[in-house]
Structure 1
Amino acid sequence: MTTLILIITATLTALIGGLFYAYSCSVVLGLGKLSDVEYLKAMQSINREILNPVFFLSFMGTAVMLPLSAFLYRAQSPVFILLLLAAIVYLAGVFGVTVVGNVPMNDQLDQFNITDSTMEAIKKVRENFENRWNFLNNIRTVCSTLSIILVVCACIWNKME
């Protein structure tokens, strides 16, 4: 059963890491080419649509499964340490950054009325949003990638024991 949980943990960690990686190397690049109005409308739409069961399963599931896996492997020191580090990196650098950084920015952007705003206001909102949001997403990308590496190492180490 613990092996199955470890496989589920690795899969969820990889899925959420892939999401942030895809954003970093394609989505934000494409969005960056849009006009200010198009960019803000696209981000508002994406931020609304990502709030779905599939995203929550992988995002919240990883936050639950990494600590659970670490707990289950607490008797196997190297595997436990790798999983504990993966959990800490994920909870701080992915989950924490999302909750404290990206979500408040997304919520603020969602409240912005593009239709009734001047082009100057639209430009200012984009300037205040885009670079900071992308920076935070890059942190999530690096941290989720590191979490994946640590979980894969835990899987390999577990197999060797």
Structure 2
Amino acid sequence: MDWILMIAGLAAALVAGVFLSFSDFIMRGLIQAPASQGAAGMVGLNRTVYRSVFMVLLLGLVPVSGGLGLFALWQFEGAAPLLTLVGAVIYLIGVFAVTGMGNVPMNKRLDAMDGQPRETADYWPRYAQRWTRLNHARTFSSGIAAVCWLVAAQTV
């Protein structure tokens, strides 16, 4: 079981790294561009992410999180079950739920504005600020999940 926790932890760390890139410099770069160009860049990124390795990791960790959380209740002793369960809950809520209920609807709204420069220019500053704030939460959550699973792997 320790190798599954290790792989899940490394995958969550990779997800955290992608989110950190957006929080650290990608969004800041897009925000510095004129609104129409920043928004167009973000729409392009959002359209390409669906066919990426990142999506395999992001979505693949959802059933893995659930499975690890359930399995931890029956198989581990000591600190490992708590760490595994905490990592699973944090990933499912702080990454998957925030993405599905926050970032994705905003991405869809921005995409629907493609070709409407005035609406896009009005929406872009609010989008960029809120989307980035939500992304900070996803960065933190995936990083904490990674740490929980990697530490649990060492204590199994």
TM-score normalised by length of structure 1: 0.88
Q: For 1:39-50, list aligned pairs within 5 A.
A: 39-50=38-49
Counterpart position of 2:128: 130
Give the aligned partner of residue 36 of structure 2.
Answer: 37
RCO comparison, higher one (Cα < 8 Å, 6+)? 2
Partners of 2:125 and 2:155 lie apart in 1 by 46
CA offset at residue 63 of structure 1?
Answer: 1.2
Letter of the aligned partner of 2:100 in structure 1?
Answer: V
User: For the structure 1 residues 122 and 60, does the alpha-carbon distance in structure 2 shift closer, same or farther, using more than 3 Å as the test?
Assistant: closer
Structure 1 contact 71–80 (Cα < 8 Å) conserved: no
Task: Please show how residues 10-159 of structure 1 align to structure 2 within 5 Å.
Answer: 10-74=9-73, 75-77=75-77, 78-114=79-115, 116-118=116-118, 121-158=119-156
Deviation of 1:53 after TM superposition, in Å, equals 4.4
- CA distance in 1: counterparts of 2:140 and 2:133, whole angstroms: 11
Q: In the alignment, residue 31 of structure 1 is paired with which amino acid? A: L
Q: Decide whether the 8 Å contact of 2:94 with 2:142 is kept in 1.
A: yes
Return 143-152 or 102-111, whichever deviates more.
143-152
Who wins on radius of gyration, i.e. which is larger? Answer: 1
Gaps of 5+ in 2: none
CA distance in 1, matches of 2:81, 2:48: 36
Q: Paired residues, what number? A: 154
AA at the equivalent of 1:146: I
- Equivalents in 2 of 1:95, 1:80: separation in Å? 21
Cα pair 2:19 2:138 within 8 Å, conserved: yes
> What TM-score, normalized by structure 2, do the two folds share?
0.90
Runs of 4 or more above 4 Å deviation: none
Q: Secondary structure at the match of 2:130?
A: helix
Q: Measure how far apart 1:70 and its partner are.
A: 3.0
Q: Distance in 2 between matches of 1:122 and 1:110?
A: 9
CA contact (8 A) 1:5 1:65 kept: no
Q: Which amino acid aligns with 2:67?
A: L
Stretch moving more, 6-15 or 64-73: 64-73
**Is contact 2:8–2:146 with CA below 8 Å preserved after alignment?**
no
Percent of aligned positions that are identical: 27
